[in-house]
């Protein structure tokens, strides 16, 4: 019996009580409205509900009296061993062993589908993250967003949403010209221009550029800049894509900022059209030759210029065009993951949503991440002033790095301990979880060698207290995935896996899958193999949501 079926059982018990206490009045409570929690003290049962305290007043009674009436009804339900009233009106529910243990087979039969749910079904969500300038290598800040953005996308997809991972390529603006001139200076053996980009990676790009275009310096000066820019841009962007792919992060959309400014067949750009569309919504006004958007109507601290009096568009114009373009592509919900220095974008993006006729509190969501540091990390030899993603990955490993970046909330500063992350001990959280998974496979291999298989399944034999605790945690996985998706917090998956790993290790220490010595193989051994494999499946499913591998041997 899982939480959903238990909620349905509670609803069935409540319906006649509602009719008795409020005859003729509609009873509109749904199973999804019934909250079930795991008691911290396992001696209090498998589940607890406060439903009696919620309904006592409208039912015209006191909470304990209603709770007792509900508990009496639950005690008659198949699969429930007992229901007791505690405190001011809590109901503690204990499942019988067969009902609780049946979950092991459900999980094994479901396989990779266990944990998936439909709580986000029907939602089309665009997640934009990383979005670095294509003018240098990805660094430690991008690494945190790469891990978190991809994990958020995974839990949302597992909860039924249609998700697109999107990378906004900042390939328009003055930084691209500075980049081109820096590469060109390196080609010519000249010093880095003022405000340009330094580092040996620029020299590497210059070498690749001149190899691709040996005639570069024979071109006119302006054309040299254009050719150097386009070639170096392509090389650097490709390097960023490779860095992300090696980190198990792949984007569905790579969106070029240039496309927003490109003129179409009608002579207008997406930016031109965006201004017209916002004007149609009634939030654009002209003042002193400039075009403004009245963003203060939607909580912004000041109105924003979208086109200056000289006819040039501001960055705000590109932001608006990009937001509208996402909606045109069918994305109702837009989720942005931005760095700690981008707090000003929050009101700006919400103002754009409001000016576009959407709900700023519904259609756009902005997550602001905090800084991350790694003790002992060296600055990039190529870039000189950053810690590169590739260096971190090669040093700490993809699994350790991803897991560590994902097990803390995005809005908390994070300091990683490289010495800990490289340990093969239980102090290292990712090792602890991965080792639990590897142990489930080791148990299964040893069971096969000893003749223990899954030819029998008798859930009523799973009566040890560690089995009850392990099954209780396994039951929670689908609800935990759904909640992580709802609040955009994949660290909840990581923390859950650590708890599950601990419960599995304790079960392993107390319950044998393989009989001792010459003892015969019994039904309980075969049933425990189901439970072992169920635990391994959930650990594997959870690690996959984090983009972390689940090794079978360690």
Judge contact between 182 and 136, C-beta under 8 A.
no
Task: Determine which helix (DSSP H) or strand (DSSP E) holds 64, and give its type and residue range.
Answer: helix 63-74
Mean pLDDT of 44-58: 91
For CA atoms 63, 65, 68, 70, give the dihedral sign.
Answer: negative
**Beta-bridge partners for 162:** 124
pLDDT of 194 strictly over 80: yes
Domain ranges of the chain: 3-95, 101-119+424-545, 124-169+250-372
Token pair for 207? 């070498």
pLDDT of residue 369: 86
pLDDT of 116 strictly over 80: yes
In whole angstroms, give the CA distance from residue 234 to residue 390. Answer: 18
Write down the H helix ranges in 159-220: 174-188, 200-212
Q: Do domains 3-95 and 124-169+250-372 have the same CATH topology?
A: no
Judge contact between 120 and 156, C-beta under 8 A.
yes
pLDDT of residue 419: 92
CATH architecture of 124-169+250-372: 3-Layer(aba) Sandwich (3.40)
Judge contact between 371 and 415, C-beta under 8 A.
no
Beta strand ranges found along 205-287 (DSSP E): 253-256, 284-287
Percent of the residues in the chain that have a pLDDT greater than 90, as a whole number = 82
Q: What is the pLDDT of residues 454-465, one digit of tens each?
A: 999 999 999 999
pLDDT of residue 342: 78
pLDDT of residue 385: 77
Mean pLDDT of 100-122: 96
pLDDT of 163 strictly over 90: yes
Residues in the chain, overall count: 554
In which band, very low, low, confident or very high, does the pLDDT at 178 lie, cut at 50, 70 and 90? very high
What three-state secondary structure class fits 157?
Answer: helix
Concatenated DSSP letters of 408-450: S-TTS-EEE-HHHHT--STTSHHHHHHHHHHHHHHHHHHHHHH
Look up residue 162 and give its DSSP letter: E
Q: What is the pLDDT of residues 302-336, one digit of tens each?
A: 899 999 999 999 989 999 999 999 999 999 999 99
Nearest to 306 by CA among 357, 358, 351, 366: 351
Q: What is the pLDDT of residues 477-532, one digit of tens each?
A: 999 999 999 999 999 999 999 999 999 999 999 999 999 988 999 999 999 999 99
pLDDT of 552 strictly over 90: yes
In whole angstroms, give the CA distance from residue 167 to residue 254. Answer: 5
In whole angstroms, give the CA distance from residue 431 to residue 421. Answer: 8
Q: Is 202 exposed, middle or buried (0-12, 13-18, 19+ CB in 10 A)?
A: buried
Topology (CATH) of 101-119+424-545:
Isoleucyl-tRNA Synthetase; Domain 1 (1.10.730)
- Cα torsion 155, 158, 162, 165 to 10°: value is 40
In whole angstroms, give the CA distance from residue 438 to residue 432. Answer: 10
In which band, very low, low, confident or very high, does the pLDDT at 44 lie, cut at 50, 70 and 90? confident
pLDDT of residue 519: 93
pLDDT of residue 43: 77
Look up residue 253 and give its DSSP letter: E
pLDDT of residue 300: 85
pLDDT of residue 376: 81
pLDDT of 381 strictly over 80: no
pLDDT of residue 301: 85
b/e per residue 472-495 (b: at least 16 CB within 10 A) = bbbbbbbbbbbbbbeebbbbbbbb
**Beta-bridge partners for 166:** 128, 253
In whole angstroms, give the CA distance from residue 138 to residue 147. Answer: 13
What three-state secondary structure class fits 128?
Answer: strand
pLDDT of residue 39: 82
pLDDT of residue 5: 87
- Cα torsion 524, 525, 527, 529 to 10°: value is 160
Compute the mean pLDDT over every residue in the chain, rounded to the nearest whole number: 94
Q: Is 520 exposed, middle or buried (0-12, 13-18, 19+ CB in 10 A)?
A: exposed
Judge contact between 539 and 504, C-beta under 8 A.
yes
In whole angstroms, give the CA distance from residue 370 to residue 341. Answer: 9
Lowest mean pLDDT segment, chosen from 9-18, 83-92, 268-277, 339-348: 339-348
Nearest-Å Rg of the Cα atoms of the chain is: 29
pLDDT of 383 strictly over 80: no
In which band, very low, low, confident or very high, does the pLDDT at 40 lie, cut at 50, 70 and 90? confident
In which band, very low, low, confident or very high, does the pLDDT at 4 lie, cut at 50, 70 and 90? confident
Q: What is the pLDDT of residues 228-277, one digit of tens each?
A: 999 999 999 999 999 999 999 999 999 999 999 999 999 999 999 999 99
Which residues, at least 6 apart from 150, have a Cβ–Cβ distance to it below 8 Å? Answer: 129, 165, 248, 249, 547
Judge contact between 120 and 485, C-beta under 8 A.
yes
Q: Domain 3-95: which CATH class? A: alpha beta
């Amino acid at each position: 019996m899982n939480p959903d079926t238990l909620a349905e059982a509670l609803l069935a018990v409540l319906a006649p009580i509602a009719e008795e206490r409020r005859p003729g009045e509609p009873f509109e409570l749904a199973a999804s409205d019934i909250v079930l929690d795991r008691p911290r003290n396992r001696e209090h049962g498998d589940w607890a509900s406060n439903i009696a305290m919620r309904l006592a007043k409208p039912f015209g009674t006191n909470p304990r009296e209603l709770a007792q009436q509900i508990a009496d009804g639950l005690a008659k339900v198949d699969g429930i061993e007992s229901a007791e009233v505690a405190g001011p009106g809590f109901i503690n529910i204990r499942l019988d062993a067969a009902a609780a243990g049946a979950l092991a087979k459900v999980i094994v039969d479901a396989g990779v589908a266990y944990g998936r749910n439909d709580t986000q079904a029907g939602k089309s969500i665009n997640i934009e993250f990383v979005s670095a300038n294509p003018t240098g290598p990805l660094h430690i800040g991008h690494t945190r967003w790469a891990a978190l953005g991809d994990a958020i996308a995974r839990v949302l997809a597992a909860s039924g949403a249609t998700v697109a991972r999107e990378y906004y390529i900042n390939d328009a603006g003055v930084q691209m010209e500075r980049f081109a001139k820096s590469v060109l200076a390196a080609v010519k053996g000249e010093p880095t221009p003022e405000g340009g980009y330094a580092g040996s990676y620029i020299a590497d790009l210059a070498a690749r550029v001149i190899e691709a275009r040996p005639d570069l310096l024979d071109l006119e000066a302006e054309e040299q800049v254009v050719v150097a820019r386009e070639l170096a841009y392509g090389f650097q962007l490709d390097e960023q894509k490779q860095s992300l792919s090696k980190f198990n992060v792949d984007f569905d959309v790579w969106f070029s900022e240039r496309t927003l400014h490109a003129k179409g067949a009608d002579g207008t750009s997406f930016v031109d059209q965006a201004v017209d569309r916002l004007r149609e919504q009634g939030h654009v006004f002209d003042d002193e030759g400039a075009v403004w958007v009245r963003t203060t109507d939607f909580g912004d601290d000041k109105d924003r210029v979208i086109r200056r009096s000289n006819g040039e568009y501001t960055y705000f114009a590109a932001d608006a065009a990009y937001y509208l373009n996402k909606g045109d592509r069918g994305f109702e919900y837009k989720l942005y993951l931005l760095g700690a220095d981008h707090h000003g974008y929050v009101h700006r993006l919400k103002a754009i949503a409001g000016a576009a006729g959407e709900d700023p509190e519904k259609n756009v969501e902005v997550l602001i991440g905090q800084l991350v540091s790694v003790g002992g990390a060296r600055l990039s030899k190529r870039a000189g002033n950053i810690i590169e993603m590739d260096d971190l990955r090669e040093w700490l490993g993809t699994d350790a790095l991803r897991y560590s970046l994902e097990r803390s909330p995005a809005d908390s500063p994070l300091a990683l301990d490289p010495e800990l992350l490289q340990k093969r001990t239980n102090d290292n959280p990712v090792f602890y979880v991965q080792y639990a998974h590897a142990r489930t496979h080791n148990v299964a291999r040893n069971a096969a060698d000893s003749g223990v298989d899954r030819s029998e399944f008798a859930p009523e034999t799973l009566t040890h207290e560690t089995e009850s605790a392990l099954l209780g945690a396994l039951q929670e996985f689908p609800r935990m995935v759904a909640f992580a998706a709802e609040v955009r917090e994949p660290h909840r998956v990581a923390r859950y896996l650590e708890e599950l790993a601990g419960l599995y290790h304790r079960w392993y220490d107390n319950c044998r899958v393989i009989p001792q010595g010459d003892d015969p193989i019994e039904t309980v051994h075969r049933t425990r193999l189901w439970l072992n494999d169920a635990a391994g499946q959930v650990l594997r499913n959870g690690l996959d949501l984090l983009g972390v591998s689940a090794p079978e041997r360690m």
